[in-house]
Structure 1
Amino acid sequence: MTTSDGAARIHWTENGEERSARWRSESGWPAPKKVVLADDTMNADTAWRFALDGTALLWRGDFQNARQLLQALVRRVDGKSERNKRAAKAKAAKSAPTPTELFHRHRLAQLQRARTLAMLLIPFDADHGIPLRRAPDVREACLEAYGPADEPYVASLRELLGVIGAHEWRRKGVFIPALDERIHPWYGVFSPVRGEYVELVAQAPLPPGATTAFDIGTGTGVLAAVLARRGLQGVLATDMDERALGCARANIERLGLAGQVELVKTDLFPPRRASLVVCNPPWLPGKPSSAIEYAVYDPDSRMLKGFLAGLKDHLLDGGEGWLIVSDLAEHLGLRSREQLLGWISDAGLVVAGRHDIRPTHPKASDADDPLAQARMREVTSLWRLRAQ
């Protein structure tokens, strides 16, 4: 249910009274319709049955016990997933699923897992404090993620743990070898932990005489920073997300590059031309299930196709567009190499060169990953594109 100001609310009964509070979910989950109170006396099996039924548990006990209960739910969810994996392998022995079918099953399992684990809820005061025994002080972390609050609210414990983890990433930062510095990602902005695409931008030869560049969909600002460090004096970084722009601005200023990098809120291109236009769009076509997934999933390849279609009109003579994209979608049967090449040709572009690199993240060599066969063949490429 939502109020006149559009804010969703969660409702429950406590001590014989009807109560409600604002509902927060950065993942976009709707406010649960069924809510029961839970405390230290509730065992994990009971909580598991409620969660599977779609009934949320509003915690009134010790905070650390709530964390232990969530861990117990994780074990049950993952145990069920392991049983499903074994059953799927037995079925696959009779009729092997396609990579696309495996991908969609994996996404569905992830979604169901996230939904079940989101059923354990924590109350918050209007200052982001948690009114529970042994609760940590998460006010700074929640302020970074949610901004100021003007009333008490309820959110899932699992989301809160994500907020706390993001706060630590923001505080410590991610070391970027190409910069010999750290980039500090904000909550909801994709962290540059997969460094291979950054290395491609750091190593590819710049177009002759290049002095200006666009970084389309800048996120943390890491690629804009790399381009500036490579000597480009006019780098314009764009994004539509205010949180990403704030994150990029903070990183650019921290690195002392504010004099070289300009940030603009716009969809894809600014109304200018540049010697170099760089874009690292989401690599998989598909519908995101949460805000953070917009960095991974590109509905109907909108950003990819939009970048290619508009690139020619935003390049200076002799300029290049750099498209950084993984071929994982091709190995999963979600997009073919022929489609990509067709979009490039239809946009009046030619491929001037390509630089490839193998991923080094842990999943790339994890044989137990549901998408292992596709991940082990994955290559990340920087496509150098020029106008025909």
Structure 2
Amino acid sequence: MPSSRPPTSRGAPPPRADTPFTLAPGEPFTWHSESDAPEPERLSPADDRLSADAALKRVRRGEYLLYTGDFHNARQLLGAIGRRLGHAEKARSPLEAFRAERRARQLEHETLSRIVVALDSQYRLGLSRAPDVALACRQVWGEPTTAFTLVPLKQLLGMLGAAEWRRKGLSVPGLTGLLHPHYGVYLPTRTDYVELLLSVPDVKGKRVFDVGTGTGVLSFLLLQRGAESVVATDCDSRAVACARENAERLGLARRFQAMEADLFPEGQADLVVSNPPWIPEPPKNRVDRAVFDEDNRFLQRFLEGLPSHLAPGGEGLLLLSNLAVLLGLRPQGWLEEQFARCGLSVKWTRSTQARHSKAKDRSDPLHAARSREVTTLYCLVPAPRGA
């Protein structure tokens, strides 16, 4: 999230587009961090002379390194530091492996995020041979508000990659037209859950709620199959903007409404669909919220509120992986107990084995669990009275 130092009376003139620049001590800047890390209190200069070993020692001491050298050398430095961090420790159980993997990923994120770069008042990157990053920055942050912006290089690289996905678009099975994801919105590259939705019968003429819409992909599949309308919600403003833009691109905006909301929209629908976060652990950053659901809070609240948001004869469609059960993060049978507690019955299910790349990667620390992962589509209806 951004933070901004108050401006001073002294401002540096903007550099030429082809001229690397540095941030002077005391210069006002805006700091952007996806993990809400506080802005650096002290920045140490670094350039192409810095070795990966020396950089790692310095960031481990708590330094933030403001890189002012060559863009390609900076990327190589990040990679070299990452390789020196090693891998997650060996674990005896899937749960231990999961915990170790998360610790390793968090350490990598915290370490690499201390390599920082500066952008000027036009979002030009102050490194030689730097690409044009202005569009990617404006897509995520809007217009610059101070003379300089600081951002972890690792985050900026992620933004550049996302901007390319957004430009090219993504083909999704069953969807006519391309989906254009935004930075920070879950990318539906795992198509197993999307394909399960194609098996839902009788969607024509149905009014739909899509809870936690993300890119809007589930809404668009249902609309293209004949659903009358969709009201979609998401707690993240980026996801709402992404879904609206994609509805326009696909010619579905007239029947699609997206709003920022904690969970359900008001009223009732014939179909209520959700593909909630499937790992009941705390998210580490904003992007994590699409995958991690601390203490199953989102899932439980969805199930508790579902009966009251179903129109007479309506159905709830829940897409959920069993990876949490395989990792030992959720006991076997817990989900069925929640259905009963919330007054819901399972009308039917469809399941598919995970086909994403990690399920086939034997070098992955979680391969034992991921190779057995199954995603299930549950069709839920209110339980009969007295059941």
Aligned equivalents of 1:290, 1:15: Cα separation in 2? 27
CA contact (8 A) 2:205 2:226 kept: no
SS in 2 for 1:382: strand
More moved, 30-39 vs 252-261: 30-39
Counterpart pick for 1:101 among 96, 102, 125: 96
SS in 2 for 1:49: helix
Letter in 1 for 2:58: F
- Partner of residue 327, structure 2: 332
Letter in 1 for 2:167: R
1:231 corresponds to 2:239: no
SS in 2 for 1:323: strand
Counterpart pick for 2:159 among 154, 158, 163: 163
CA contact (8 A) 2:319 2:376 kept: yes
- Partner of residue 185, structure 2: 189
- Partner of residue 41, structure 1: 49
Change (3 A) 1:383 1:21: same
Offset at residue 140 of structure 1 (A): 0.4
Counterpart pick for 2:66 among 55, 58, 62: 58
1:313 corresponds to 2:308: yes
Letter in 2 for 1:199: E
Instruction: Please give the root-mean-square deviation of Cα atoms over the aligned residues, in Å.
Output: 2.1
SS in 1 for 2:4: coil
1:126 corresponds to 2:121: yes
TM-score between both structures, scaled by the size of structure 2: 0.90
Offset at residue 19 of structure 1 (A): 4.9
Offset at residue 288 of structure 1 (A): 0.7
SS in 2 for 1:278: strand
CA contact (8 A) 1:54 1:116 kept: no
Offset at residue 167 of structure 1 (A): 0.3
Letter in 2 for 1:165: G
Counterpart pick for 1:137 among 132, 140, 144: 132
Change (3 A) 1:191 1:140: same
- Partner of residue 266, structure 1: 261
Aligned equivalents of 1:191, 1:204: Cα separation in 2? 22
Aligned equivalents of 1:237, 1:165: Cα separation in 2? 26
Offset at residue 68 of structure 1 (A): 2.1
SS in 2 for 1:171: helix
TM-score between both structures, scaled by the size of structure 1: 0.90
CA contact (8 A) 1:210 1:276 kept: no
Change (3 A) 1:15 1:326: closer
Change (3 A) 1:51 1:8: same
Offset at residue 134 of structure 1 (A): 1.6
1:241 corresponds to 2:236: yes
Aligned equivalents of 2:226, 2:23: Cα separation in 1? 66
Structure 1 gap segments, 5+ residues each: none
Aligned equivalents of 1:221, 1:15: Cα separation in 2? 40
- Partner of residue 202, structure 2: 206
Q: Show the 5 A alignment for 1:207-222.
A: 211-222=206-217
Counterpart pick for 1:178 among 159, 174, 177: 174
1:28 corresponds to 2:36: yes
More moved, 234-243 vs 350-359: 234-243
Aligned equivalents of 2:5, 2:58: Cα separation in 1? 22
More moved, 23-32 vs 155-164: 23-32
Offset at residue 6 of structure 1 (A): 5.6
Letter in 1 for 2:256: V
CA contact (8 A) 1:8 1:24 kept: no
- Listed one character per residue, the Cα deviations across residues 4-37 of structure 1 (whole Å, up to 9, x for unaligned) are x96379xxxx999555532211232222345311
- Listed one character per residue, the Cα deviations across residues 319-355 of structure 1 (whole Å, up to 9, x for unaligned) are 1101100000000111123221111111110011110
Aligned equivalents of 2:56, 2:254: Cα separation in 1? 54
Q: Show the 5 A alignment for 1:58-97.
A: 58-77=66-85, 80-81=86-87, 85=89, 88=90, 97=92
- Partner of residue 112, structure 1: 107
CA contact (8 A) 2:276 2:299 kept: yes
SS in 1 for 2:333: helix
CA contact (8 A) 2:4 2:29 kept: no
The size of the alignment, in residue pairs, is 367
Offset at residue 265 of structure 1 (A): 2.5
Aligned equivalents of 2:23, 2:188: Cα separation in 1? 48
Moved over 4 A (4+): 14-20
Aligned equivalents of 1:242, 1:22: Cα separation in 2? 20
CA contact (8 A) 1:322 1:385 kept: yes
SS in 2 for 1:186: coil
Identity %: 43
Aligned equivalents of 1:206, 1:358: Cα separation in 2? 24
Aligned equivalents of 2:24, 2:261: Cα separation in 1? 51
- Listed one character per residue, the Cα deviations across residues 294-337 of structure 1 (whole Å, up to 9, x for unaligned) are 00001111111111000100111211101100000000111123
